[in-house]
């Protein structure tokens, strides 16, 4: 599975998300959390040290929530040469909150 300034998000691999959705529809256990939002920031504002630093911060926050075995990525974009769009970093969905409730099926 996957997971800035202010809002952090994570994504699950599409295959795992599809398996989790099928399990939920069949009455199985809820799928694991694949998305979270936090208001806990770093002391130096929005300076997370680029994409790698932001991802590392998300990993720390995920671990603190008991989900350290998942790989979390920040929902963050960059500008300029080799720009990165946040939507491209989070996969295709679906995404589930900590209660196992689907928050979005896809990026649309």
Structure tokens at 44: 């130096």
Compute the Cα dihedral for 33, 39, 45, 46 and give only its sign: positive
Task: Decide: pTM greater than 0.75.
Answer: no
pLDDT tens, position by position, for the chain (108 residues)?
343 333 333 332 233 333 344 444 556 777 888 888 887 777 676 788 889 999 999 999 989 888 888 889 999 999 999 999 999 998 889 999 888 899 999 988
Q: Give me the pLDDT at residue 105, please.
A: 94
Measured CA angle at 38 (ends 43, 40), to 5 deg? 20
């Amino acid at each position: 599975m996957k997971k800035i300034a202010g809002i952090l998000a994570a994504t699950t691999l599409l295959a795992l998300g599809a398996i989790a959705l099928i399990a939920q529809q069949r009455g199985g256990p809820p799928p694991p959390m694949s998305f979270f939002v936090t208001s806990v920031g770093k002391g130096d504002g929005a300076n997370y040290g680029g994409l790698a630093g932001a991802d590392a911060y998300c990993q720390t926050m995920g671990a603190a929530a008991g989900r350290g075995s998942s790989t979390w990525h920040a929902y963050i974009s960059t500008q300029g040469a080799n720009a990165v769009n946040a939507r491209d970093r989070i996969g295709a969905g679906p995404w589930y909150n900590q209660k196992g409730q689907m928050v979005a099926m896809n990026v649309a």
